Structure 1
Amino acid sequence: MNASADIALVLAVAVVMANLPFVNERIAVVGPRATGRKHWLVRLLELFVGCGLTLGLGMALESRLGQLHAQGWEFYAAMAFLFLTLAFPGFVWRYLTRQRG
């Protein structure tokens, strides 16, 4: 893969991982099905874990291409807010639309 394919892969994984806590009722995607609805703190924890996994994938792909670049706190803050922005459609679907049944 080249660098642009790696970037597209990381962005696609970020979109999926950001929305995954909101579209399924299983704990940590593969765990047992939550009784009733999952608590919002569980969804938030899953969101942070997904952000960390996406960051890890990005770092692994970057190290495969060459040397890792040192990042300051600004990079991680921007990454977290980008991840929250990507999670917005799942949040709207889960909490702001009227669910039938």
Structure 2
Amino acid sequence: MNQDFYVFLVLGLALVFANLPFMSQRVFLVLPYKGGIKPLWLRFAELLACYFIVGAIAKGIELSQGQIYPQGWQFYVVTISLFLTFAFPGFVIRYMLVRRT
């Protein structure tokens, strides 16, 4: 497989993982939340955990392809911004389009 496949794989995983916290009332899709509706801070904590999971997968893919290139702080600022941009559809659906009764 070529590198383009892995780039699109990581971007696709980031898109899916960024929207997971907004699609379920369960904590990490496993544990039920006892308080009823999951609060926004818990969704952001899950979003941060998903960011690190996707980052670990990407680093593993990079290691399988060769040497890992050292990154500066700018790389992480750009990737967290991209991850938050990917999470926008889930946020909009959860908090702006769904009517509460």
TM bucket normalised to smaller: over 0.9
Structure 1 residue identity aligned to 2:22: F
Matched residues, percent identical? 41
1:10 lines up with 2:24 in the alignment: no
Residue 75 of structure 1 corresponds to 75
Which residue of the partner structure matches residue 30 of structure 2? 30
Q: Is the 8 A contact 1:6 1:61 kept in 2?
A: yes
Q: Please report how far the alpha carbon of residue 98 of structure 1 lies from its aligned counterpart in structure 2 after TM superposition.
A: 3.4
For the residues of structure 1 that align with 2:38 and 2:26, how far apart are their CA atoms? Answer: 8
Letter in 1 for 2:26: R
Per the alignment, residue 41 of structure 2 pairs with 41
Q: CA deviation at 1:99?
A: 2.3
- The residue type equivalent to 1:77 in the other structure is V
Deviates more, 1:21-30 or 1:69-78: 21-30
TM superposition score normalised by structure 2: 0.93
SS in 1 for 2:52: helix
Where do 5+ consecutive residues of structure 2 fail to align?
A: none
Moved over 4 A (4+): none
Shift in Å, 1:33: 4.3
Q: Aligned to 1:87, what secondary structure does the other structure show? A: helix
The TM-score with structure 1 as length reference comes to 0.93
Paired letter, 1:56:
A
